[in-house]
Amino acid sequence: MRIGLFDSGIGGLTVLAEFIKKYPNCEYIYYGDTANLPYGTKSKEELSVLADKIIKFLISKKIDLIVIACGTISSNLYSEIKDKYNVKIIDILTPTINYITQNKLNNIGIMATPMTVKSQFFEKKLVNVTSIACPKLVPLIECGEFTDELKQAVKAYLQKLKGCDYIILGCTHYPLIIPIIQKYSTIPFINMGKCLVDTINVNSKSTLHIELYFSKLTSEIITNVSKIIKENKEIYERKV
Ligand code: DGL
User: CB within 8 A of 106, min separation 6: which ones?
Assistant: 127, 128, 165
Indicate whether 86 and 98 sit together in one domain: no
Indicate whether 200 and 87 sit together in one domain: yes
- The predicted-structure confidence for 98-120, as pLDDT tens digits, reads as follows 999 999 999 999 999 999 999 99
Separation between Cα atoms, residue 215 and residue 164, nearest integer Å: 38
Query: Can you tell me which atom of ligand 1 is nearest the CA of 37?
Result: 8
Indicate whether 126 and 187 sit together in one domain: yes
How far is ligand 1, taken at its centre, from the CA of residue 205, in Å? 31
Which pLDDT value is given to residue 100? 97
Q: Can you tell me the mean pLDDT for 17-33? A: 97
- Report the catalytic residues: 70, 171
Measured from CB, residues less than 6 Å from any atom of ligand 1 are: 7-8, 11, 37-40, 70-72, 113, 116, 138, 171-173
- The predicted-structure confidence for 179-230, as pLDDT tens digits, reads as follows 999 999 999 999 999 999 999 999 999 999 999 999 999 999 999 999 999 9
Which pLDDT value is given to residue 110? 98
Q: Can you tell me the mean pLDDT for 29-41? A: 98
Question: Which residue's CA is minimally distant from atom 9 of ligand 1?
Answer: 40
Which pLDDT value is given to residue 149? 98
Indicate whether 68 and 83 sit together in one domain: yes
Indicate whether 46 and 69 sit together in one domain: yes
CB 210 within 8 A of CB 234: yes
Q: For the chain, what is the domain count?
A: 2
Which pLDDT value is given to residue 159? 98
How far is ligand 1, taken at its centre, from the CA of residue 91, in Å? 13
Indicate whether 51 and 169 sit together in one domain: no
Query: Which of 72, 73, 115 gets mutated to test ligand 1 (max ligand atoms within 8 A of its CB)?
Result: 72
Confidence of residue 12 (pLDDT cuts 50, 70, 90): very high
Indicate whether 210 and 143 sit together in one domain: no
Query: Which of 39, 47, 119 gets mutated to test ligand 1 (max ligand atoms within 8 A of its CB)?
Result: 39
- The predicted-structure confidence for 45-93, as pLDDT tens digits, reads as follows 999 999 999 999 999 999 999 999 999 999 999 999 999 999 999 999 9
Residue 106 lies in domain: 94-192
How far is ligand 1, taken at its centre, from the CA of residue 127, in Å? 24
Q: Would you say the pTM of this structure is higher than 0.95?
A: yes
Which pLDDT value is given to residue 217? 98
Indicate whether 164 and 212 sit together in one domain: no
**How far, in Å, are 10, 58, 62, 66 from residue 7 at the CA level?**
7, 12, 18, 11
- The predicted-structure confidence for 117-174, as pLDDT tens digits, reads as follows 999 999 999 999 999 999 999 999 999 999 999 999 999 999 999 999 999 999 999 9
Indicate whether 187 and 213 sit together in one domain: no
Indicate whether 161 and 214 sit together in one domain: no
Which pLDDT value is given to residue 139? 96
Indicate whether 58 and 111 sit together in one domain: no
Query: Can you tell me which atom of ligand 1 is nearest the CA of 112?
Result: 10
CB 202 within 8 A of CB 144: no
Indicate whether 163 and 99 sit together in one domain: yes
